[in-house]
Structure 1
Amino acid sequence: MKLNKINKLNIRIYILLFLIAILMIVSLIAPYLCPNDPNYTDLSLAKQAPSKTFIFGTDIYGRCVFSRVLMGAKVSIFSSLFLVLGTFLFGSTYGMICGYFGGKIDRTLMGFVDILLAFPDMILAIAVAGILGGGLINAMLALALTGWTSYARLARGSVMTIKSEVFIKAARLSGNGDLRIIIKHILPNIIGPLVVNATLQIGGMMMGLAGLSFLGIGVQIPHAEWGSMINEGRSLMQTAPWIILYPGGVMMVAVMVFNFLGDSIRDLLDPKRQMV
């Protein structure tokens, strides 16, 4: 029974990775897949319903919604992946340093983390993005400011638990330096929960970026991004619902796929869940 559950988890992970690979490939070759210029405006074509010419219809400026959804995929997906990678590396390193050395270093560095955690993530990101101004880079910086703290807390707690183990003491007595102990002996034993957290955070970063763009402090017009597309069509929900339904639906599917992958990896790495 246990092996069957593990095999089912493996199959689910392979399927989800395949779907994510398709999303990434489509987003990379989006400029070649677009049937129309995503930034071409023609008010005579504004708010046209989905048809053979415009599969997802057109927006208030006559732009092809399908082409803009494709172009927005690259911004949303790869910006989120880059954000998660950056916060993962910085936050994990930060937390391992705090947990390993402890003492004043730990109290000082984690004090800064506690200050950031005192504010709701999205509220702080909105404030920072508003100060820096609109734009993709500034939105990513705003989300990165709050995104790395979860890795720092998780890495610190894991290191503090494992650094007192016998094999760590043996490695230290064998003449290994701090850097070698952290990289060779500690990191491999704590990487699992950090990877799970990173996978689960991709969908959240995607939603955060879309949220900032929706508020007008993220990706700026005319660049295509799912959140800004939803913002442009929100006043036309009753008369031209396709303007927000298609980018919103695609974003929902993308977030769900990444979240399902994170849940599956967590289940695979959690021995307690495997025994249920």
Structure 2
Amino acid sequence: MRLLFLITVDCDLRCEDIGLRQKSLNVLLDVFSETGLSGHITWFANENDFQLTKNHQAFLQEILRRGDNLGIHDHFESFKGVYKREAIRKFCHRSKEAMERWLAENDYSMRIWLHRNGCLVQQPEVYAALKDLGYTGVSEIWPGKQGVDRDGHPAFDNRSVPIGIMPYRHDEMNFSDWSSKEGHFVQIPIMQMFLKDLNYSSMERWIQTFEERSVDPGILVWVFHPYEILDRSRQRISSEAVGILKSHIERCRSEYEVEFTNVKEALSEIGC
């Protein structure tokens, strides 16, 4: 059985120093280059909060040069747990419009179709707004888990969703119906979040489930953030965290023989 392993980076650059934010992105680019993963990473840009099109243009140019995937990552804490379709649409339109304007101004012929909600928020009104904006790919479902947003408001509850599921299609209301085969969105479920917390026991349970269901290839999605390679003070790069990232990549490759792919490559592999 083949295992397609998707490293997806939510570009939350949570430190005050713009220079350090850029350095954290550069370090990740270096790690992915050194480990042969250039072109096989998926980045979700938090444009509304961190203005990558203004502050980190060189980073955007480099990931596009490599052939990595680019999506948008919007956080909704300002809505305080109250989600209205039109308000969300306006908010998400701002980030999408800014990114697509930058792409056009820099002669990139592409559209933004991929989105991940901040803190994996899952609400019908949010998905309706994303549909209005033309998004067709999303990635929030985290099987077996529940969570809150950064301010403690309920964000998602996927405890009834089994591990080992593959990408599936859904509409605004049935986002957690992992058996659905039709719908506007393709949902790419998450195996694990956070850099240091890559849980190999959980990963092995996913792989076992793939084997039991005769799934081939199986898709494993890992999510982390640039701020996770900073030290606790968020004032410098943590060499320990960078080492952990490299170690995870090497172990996944040598012990589990995964194939690193971006979202578009993986969906193409399974005809989704």
TM over 0.5: no
The structure having more radius of gyration, on CA atoms, is 1
TM-score tier after normalising by the smaller chain length: under 0.3
TM-score for the superposition, normalised by structure 2:
0.24
Higher helix share: 1
